[in-house]
Amino acid sequence: MGDNTGTVANCYATGSVTGSERVGGLVGFVSGGAISNSYAAVSVNGDDRAGGLTGGLAEASRDNVTDSFWDTETSGMPRSHGGIGKSTAEMMDIATFRAAGWSIIAVAPGEKNPAYTWNIVDEQTYPFLSWQPTT
């Protein structure tokens, strides 16, 4: 996603992203929108203003990134213009997300619990949305 002017909630990104300016694992630039209960586990490569979760953040949006994280190890980014950086182990720990108030529950591999927005195989996977197909 490039420039965010709307609401991003309960979403995530995996994979890799490469760009030249305002490159973020989830959003390139937050210019007036908001991000909540989301994360990025993305390899981020950028020349200018790159970040683990967002590549840039307008002053007006400074307080609009809440309860969101990025994997500092996967991204290779020690910083972001919003969100909280966590290690891969912390990103696979349900405690990280419970502490942020996410609707999340631990499930067994291959299972899901649709009563919660997010599911996680604690200490084995990143969180995934309960409506997603299991692998």
CA 49 to CA 18: how far, in whole Å? 12
**67 and 30, same structural domain?**
yes
- Is 134 within a domain? no
Predicted pLDDT at 133: 79
Supply the range of the domain harboring residue 54.
3-87
Same domain for 42 and 11: yes
Q: Do 43 and 61 have their domain in common?
A: yes
- Digit-coded pLDDT (tens) for 81-133: 899 999 999 999 999 999 999 999 999 999 999 999 999 999 999 999 999 87
Number of domain units in the chain: 2
72 and 36 in one domain? yes
Whether residue 13 is found in the same domain as residue 78 = yes
Start-to-end C-alpha separation, the chain: 25
pLDDT at 32: 83
User: Is the pTM value of this prediction over 0.85?
Assistant: yes
pLDDT digits (tens, 9 = 90+) for 69-79: 999 999 999 99
Distance CA 45, CA 25 (A): 9
Is residue 135 assigned to a domain? no
